[in-house]
């Protein structure tokens, strides 16, 4: 099983938003990524619209529907009523639910599944009723994954930030990789699909893939966008796909 790549466009949108200008184009970069072989596009529309704007969602949906119908649209966010209305309007193939505070810079922790079991169960049922696959953002721990499964979710996305952040410390990186391996084994045992995201790079992807043989998808934004500054979006997508094996 070879994991697929979903390109997160938030960093592209954040750069665009520095000026009241339409470039870099979010859909333009998305088109290049999909044409280069990415399996999908990911966005995280935060309430303050500091990177992806709500108005971007219809354009990305149209790009996929009109030009890349085999690709997937993944929208991630905290399941407020406003967020749920957005995803119901734009019908992504996958919704990734994250426990973020609106003020957070980026997602940095997974759900407390025991505490939020009832709410997540209700939201998962609502989204799956619209035909959407649902993934829950999770810390790289086996504990609580049985509850994640009980909510009806299809997948979990493991937070790989600590693994990516240990790039300069081999011992710490090995420790984080072992955590991810154990958590992924438990998720597979429960029948949950496995996604991963945060601070993944061409350099650290091969080791992750090796310990996660059931990995379905990686969602990568910051590292891929940084790579694209050097290699261009097309070549960077191809580099990341190659790193996935």
Where in the sequence numbering do the catalytic residues fall? 44, 76, 198
Please, are residues 116 and 99 in contact by the beta-carbon 8 Å criterion?
yes
**What is the rounded CA–CA span in Å between residue 210 and residue 229?**
28
Using DSSP's 3-state secondary structure scheme, residue 231 falls into: helix
Q: Which residue has the tokens 């209700």?
A: 122
Three-point CA angle 44, 47, 50, nearest 5°: 70
Please, are residues 211 and 180 in contact by the beta-carbon 8 Å criterion?
yes
- Residue 16 CA to its chain's centroid (Å): 20
């Amino acid at each position: 099983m070879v994991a697929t790549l979903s390109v997160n466009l938030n960093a592209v949108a954040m750069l665009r938003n520095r000026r009241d200008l339409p470039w870099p184009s979010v859909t333009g970069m998305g088109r290049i990524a999909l044409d280069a072989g990415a399996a999908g596009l990911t966005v995280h529309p935060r309430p303050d619209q500091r990177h992806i704007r709500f108005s971007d969602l219809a354009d990305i949906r149209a790009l996929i529907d009109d030009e890349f119908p085999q690709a997937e649209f993944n929208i991630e966010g905290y399941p407020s009523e406003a967020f749920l209305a957005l995803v119901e309007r734009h019908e992504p193939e996958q919704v990734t639910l994250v426990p973020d505070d609106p003020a957070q810079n980026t997602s940095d922790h997974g759900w407390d599944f025991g505490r939020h079991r009832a709410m997540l169960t209700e939201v998962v049922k609502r989204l799956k009723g619209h035909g959407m696959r649902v993934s829950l953002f999770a810390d790289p721990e086996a504990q609580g994954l049985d509850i994640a499964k009980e909510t009806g979710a299809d997948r979990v996305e493991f937070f790989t930030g600590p693994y990516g952040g240990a790039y300069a410390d081999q011992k710490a990186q090995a420790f984080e990789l072992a955590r991810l391996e154990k958590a992924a084994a438990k998720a597979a045992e429960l029948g949950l699909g496995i996604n991963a995201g945060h601070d993944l790079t061409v350099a650290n992807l091969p080791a992750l893939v090796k310990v996660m043989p059931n990995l379905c998808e990686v969602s990568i934004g910051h590292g891929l966008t940084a790579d694209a500054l050097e290699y261009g979006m097309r070549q960077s997508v191809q580099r990341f796909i190659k790193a996935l094996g």
